[in-house]
Amino acid sequence: MLLSPLREALLGQQPVASDEEAQVKTALSFGFEWSRFPEMYEEWNQSFLDYMQPHAPDFFRGKKVLDAGCGNGRFAYHAARYGAEVWAIDLGPAVEVARQNTEPAGLVQVVQADLHRPPFALESFDFIYSIGVLHHLPDPEEAFQNLLRYLKPEGEIQIYLYWEPEGQPIKRALLGLVKAARSLTTRLPHRAVYALAFPAAVAAFGFFVWPYRLLKKVPGLRSLAEKMPMKQYANFPFRVCVNDQLDRFSAPIENRYTKQQVADWLNRAKLESTKVNAAYGWVGTGRKDASTMGSQ
């Protein structure tokens, strides 16, 4: 099988072009991340269902699905459990972790491949999802448009993108601090960022997660609790927060979007039945027009 230029660069078989260097570094960053956090938790099932809304579990039965950027395979595992034939791709060495994690699920094929050049026939998938991946690419919308070429007419696509908080001064201030820290941490060795992820997670739990758990138990303070940043980690083991801090401070590329910008993506792609919902970020979904058959 012919390798994409990015895969060849990743494997050291050709020099890295300057405009691809950050993407290769990102793939290696996630490969390191998932080698340190390969765990599969029961909580991933509910997480999968949340990110797949408005699609219910029975939506997946009998569908051919592309997981575009599978990470450790946690979502591919659940898509297969609900009856889909899943093809999961990732550019970096995380595919080895994904293969092991998805083996018990049944119909999952894990392939190391470039998101821009997946080794599949055009218009061959009923459903494509890319959760937490596109915003780490140099040109996220271009990658999104490319994925649509592999979606069957009347097939559906689901994406998750980091949000740009609007009218939320506390969250904007926190993200400003994170952005400033990232200017340093993205240049550090992966092992150093891994070590820093633990105290960062402790700080997140100390300032936000534990106070959230306490406040929501007090009837008069529940509304205040729901405004707490990072409250989502109250539903997961501590190591999930550590994992996400490594992700946040290690990946070289990070793009953020408003709800309207995500809606604009879907509109420019000429998708039908589009929706953009909040899920600690934006989940965008839409259906490919049947009239596009054979036009890709």
pLDDT in tens, 61-83: 999 999 999 999 999 999 999 99
- Strand residue runs (E) in the chain: 64-68, 85-90, 108-112, 125-131, 151-161, 272-278, 282-287
Class of domain 5-163+257-292: alpha beta
User: What does the domain layout of the chain look like in residue ranges?
Assistant: 5-163+257-292, 169-250
Quick count: other Cβ atoms within 10 Å of Cβ 288?
23
**pLDDT tens-digit series, residues 218-244:** 989 999 999 888 999 999 999 999 999
pTM: 0.90
**Token pair belonging to 257:** 């979007």
Residue 27 pLDDT: 87
User: Which segment of 14-28, 182-196, 209-223, 239-253 scores lowest on mean pLDDT?
Assistant: 14-28
